[in-house]
């Protein structure tokens, strides 16, 4: 393979409690990239770790001149850490990957190959089921992508990963996005450009525990679907229309029964109907409420993350150590 050796890569790595993985990951990336001749920088984003991750980053930044870190003021979540890292990236392409070595560094070579072919985005998706996931995760993951594809306007492969290469022209556009909620996997699909997806087999987490709990995943699913589509609003209005049509058709029956003297004391059915429609209305209103809440949050224009410390500043699109 001939590589574009005059180009620089920015590798952005969100890290939350990854103390034992940092040095190993840096070694693996070095081993993979040194033979290619590309210049590269590693931008780690410490997303509110409670362990020794930040210290590990500082030590490695002393050893390697191309290792940079950004410490966020608290745990903002992976997508926000990614945004913080991408904001710093100065390379001709950005590669985002996890810190836990589940994203095999050797795959970067394949990404570079497709980038060289002229693709603007090379994303990866898991081949088959996640062999390292818990039992319920197989079901929830499949449901997540099914729900997302059905209810929103973007279509994503099952198991799409935050492991991708993005050309600088796309990165330039991504940096302009000013949304309160960010889900990069969706934004990447939405962005368009010349994209190619390549399958990968996730490795086992090198050390430590995955940070995503079941509750966090459910929240992610709901916010993502709602962030990418207003379709749930149309669905609830269709449900509303269906129920009101049934109710309207039911009224003449009630009136005729009353006139003919058939009306019986239907206390139970009235209570049941009121309870049913009351519940339905609350549910539909809560969907609208969630969207209103999102408008409220967006209208505040708060930053997506806050940087507490860093060993780098950007000057003329170059990273300068401080
Ligand atoms: N991560 C992060 N902030 C968080 C949770 C996770 O930056 O709040 C990072 C984590 O350090 C890792 C990547 O995101 O590099 C994926 O996280 P994890 O391995 O916990 O999740 P999974 O493998 O289940 O996707
Ligand atoms: Mg992981």
CATH of the domain at 189: 3.90.550.10
pLDDT at residue 267, rounded to an integer: 65
Cβ(34)–Cβ(108) under 8 Å? no
ipTM exceeds 0.85: yes
Cα separation, 21 vs 23, whole angstroms = 6
pLDDT at residue 227, rounded to an integer: 78
Domain, as residue range, for 54: 8-228+303-321
Q: Output the six-digit token pair for 267.
A: 């206390």
Same domain for 197 and 256, yes or no, is: no
Q: Output the six-digit token pair for 218.
A: 């459910």
CA of residue 65 to ligand 1 center, whole Å? 25
Same domain for 167 and 188, yes or no, is: yes
Same domain for 235 and 316, yes or no, is: no
Q: How many domains does the chain have?
A: 2
Cα separation, 212 vs 217, whole angstroms = 7
Nearest in space to 123 (alpha carbons), one of 162, 67, 74, 87: 162
Cα separation, 81 vs 46, whole angstroms = 8
Cα separation, 18 vs 49, whole angstroms = 8
Neighbours of 110 (CB within 10 A): 17
Per-residue pLDDT of the chain (322 residues; tens, 9 = 90+): 555 568 999 999 999 999 999 999 999 999 999 999 899 999 999 999 999 999 999 999 999 999 999 999 999 999 999 999 999 999 999 999 999 999 999 999 999 999 999 999 999 998 877 777 677 777 777 788 888 788 877 888 888 999 999 999 999 999 999 888 888 998 999 999 999 999 998 888 888 777 777 777 777 777 788 777 777 877 887 787 788 788 778 777 777 877 887 766 676 678 768 767 877 787 788 778 888 888 888 888 889 999 999 988 877 777 787 8
Same domain for 186 and 311, yes or no, is: yes
pLDDT at residue 236, rounded to an integer: 80
Cα separation, 253 vs 141, whole angstroms = 47
Q: Output the six-digit token pair for 54.
A: 């930040």
CA of residue 291 to ligand 2 center, whole Å? 30
Measuring from each residue's beta carbon to the nearest atom of ligand 1, which residues come in under 6 Å? Answer: 14-16, 18, 47, 75, 77-78, 81, 98-100, 102, 210-212
Same domain for 127 and 32, yes or no, is: yes
The three-state secondary structure class of 5 is: coil
CA of residue 79 to ligand 1 center, whole Å? 9
Same domain for 246 and 261, yes or no, is: yes
| Atom 22, ligand 1: residue with shortest CA distance | 210
Cβ(94)–Cβ(166) under 8 Å? yes
pLDDT at residue 149, rounded to an integer: 82
Same domain for 211 and 256, yes or no, is: no
Same domain for 123 and 174, yes or no, is: yes
Nearest in space to 282 (alpha carbons), one of 225, 247, 228, 236: 236
Same domain for 282 and 170, yes or no, is: no
Q: Output the six-digit token pair for 202.
A: 């996730």
CA of residue 151 to ligand 2 center, whole Å? 26
Cα separation, 129 vs 140, whole angstroms = 11
pLDDT at residue 44, rounded to an integer: 97
pLDDT at residue 268, rounded to an integer: 64
| Atom 21, ligand 1: residue with shortest CA distance | 210
DSSP line for 174-224 = HTT---SS--HHHHHHHH-SSEEEEEE-PPPPSSS-----HHHHHHHHHHH
The three-state secondary structure class of 309 is: strand
| Entry pTM | 0.81
Domain assignment present for 2: no
């Amino acid at each position: 393979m001939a590589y574009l050796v005059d180009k620089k890569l920015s590798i952005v790595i969100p890290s939350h409690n990854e103390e034992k993985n940092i040095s190993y990951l840096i070694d693996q990336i070095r081993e993979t990239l040194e033979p290619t001749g590309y210049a590269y920088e590693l931008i780690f984003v410490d997303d509110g770790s409670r362990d020794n991750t930040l210290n590990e980053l500082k030590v490695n930044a002393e050893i390697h001149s191309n290792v940079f870190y950004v410490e966020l003021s608290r745990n903002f979540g992976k997508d926000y850490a990614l945004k913080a890292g991408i904001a710093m990236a100065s390379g001709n392409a950005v590669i985002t990957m996890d810190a836990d070595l589940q994203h095999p560094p050797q795959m970067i070579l394949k990404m570079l190959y497709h980038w060289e072919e002229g693709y603007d985005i090379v994303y990866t998706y898991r081949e088959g089921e996640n062999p390292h996931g818990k039992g319920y995760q197989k079901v929830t993951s499949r449901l997540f992508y099914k729900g997302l594809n059905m209810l929103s306007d973007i279509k994503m492969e099952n198991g799409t990963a935050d492991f991708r290469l993005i050309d600088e022209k796309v990165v330039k556009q991504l940096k302009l996005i000013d949304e309160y909620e960010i889900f990069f996997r969706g934004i990447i699909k939405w962005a368009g450009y010349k994209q190619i997806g390549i399958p990968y087999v996730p490795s086992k987490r090198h050390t430590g525990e995955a940070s995503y709990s079941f509750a966090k995943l459910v929240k992610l699913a709901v916010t993502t679907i709602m962030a990418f589509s207003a379709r749930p609003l149309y669905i609830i209005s269709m449900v509303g229309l269906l129920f009101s049509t049934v109710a309207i058709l039911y009224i003449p029956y009630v009136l005729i029964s009353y006139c003919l003297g058939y009306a019986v004391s239907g206390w139970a059915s009235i209570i049941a109907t009121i309870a049913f429609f009351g519940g339905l209305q609350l549910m539909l209103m809560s969907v609208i409420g969630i969207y209103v809440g999102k408008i409220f949050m967006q209208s505040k224009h708060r930053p997506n993350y806050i940087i507490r410390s860093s060993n780098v500043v950007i000057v003329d699109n170059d990273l300068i150590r401080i």
